[in-house]
Amino acid sequence: MDEDDVRAAVREERRDQVELLGMLRPEQWDAPTLCAGWRVREVVAHTTMPYRTSIGGLILELLRARGSFDRMADRVARRDAARLGTGDLLGSLRDNVGHSWTPPGGGAHGALAHDVIHGLDITVGLGLDRQVPPGRIAMVLTGMRARNVAYFGVDLTGVALHATDLDWSHGAGAPLHGLAQDLLLVLCGRRLPPGRLHGEPAAHFSQRP
C-alpha cells in the first residue's frame, strides 16, 4: 500500500468521525460501545490520547501501569473521559485530523486500523447505520498480520471469514459471512449485535440477545 494513500485515508476517517460525533446527543456519549467497559467518551478519549501525551508522559503512564499497555490505556481513557467534556474530546479530534501519530511498530496502517476499529466500536455499539468506505476497510484488512490478530486473542480455529461486500476471506473451515467491517471486528475479538453475521459460527461471535 502506498503510504500517502494510507495517510489520506487516516485523515478522511478522522474527518468522518468528527462529523459523526458532532451529531451525537448528550446521552449517546454515555452509551456503551463494543469496547467492554468503555462508553463513547472513553473510546474518544483513548483515540485522542496520543495528541495530548508526550513520549515522556506515555513512558511515565506505562511505568504506573507496571508495563502493561492495556492497563495504561484503560486508566488514561477513564481519567481523560472524566475530566474532559464532550466539546474538549471532539475538539481534540477535530484539531488533529492531520496528526502524524502512529502506534509503535504500526506505521500509517496501524494508525488507520486504530481509528477505523474504534470508530466501529462506537457506531456499531450505538446501532448507527454507518458503513466505512469499502476501500478504507480493504486497506485495514490488507495490512492485518497474524501478530495483529493474535494480539486480540480471538480463536478462529475452524472458521472461514467471507466478506459479502469485498473480495476478501480469511481462514478455513465453517463459513462465517458478513460485511467486511463486521468481520474486521470479529478479528479484533469484538462481540457483534445479533443478525450482523451469518453462518454456523455466527452465534459464537455475536452478543447474546
Q: Are residues 72 and 101 in the same domain?
A: yes
Predicted confidence band of residue 69 (pLDDT cuts 50, 70, 90): confident
Structure confidence at residue 145 (pLDDT): 84
Q: Are residues 91 and 183 in the same domain?
A: no
Q: What is the CATH number of the domain that holds 95?
A: 1.20.120
SS3 content of the chain, % helix, strand, coil (to 5): 60, 10, 35
Q: End of a domain among 125, 142, 159?
A: 142
One domain, residues 67 and 17: yes
Range of the domain at 153: 144-209
Same domain, 189 and 113: no
Average confidence (pLDDT) over 102-117: 94
50 has pLDDT over 80: yes
- pTM, two decimal places: 0.95
154 near 188, Cβ under 8 Å? yes
157-194 pLDDT, tens per residue? 999 999 999 999 999 999 999 999 999 999 999 999 99
Whether residues 101 and 48 share a domain: the answer is yes
Residue 147 is predicted with a pLDDT of: 84
Is residue 142 within 8 A of residue 163, CB to CB? The reply is: no
User: Residue 58: pLDDT above 90?
Assistant: no
Confidence (pLDDT) at 5: 96
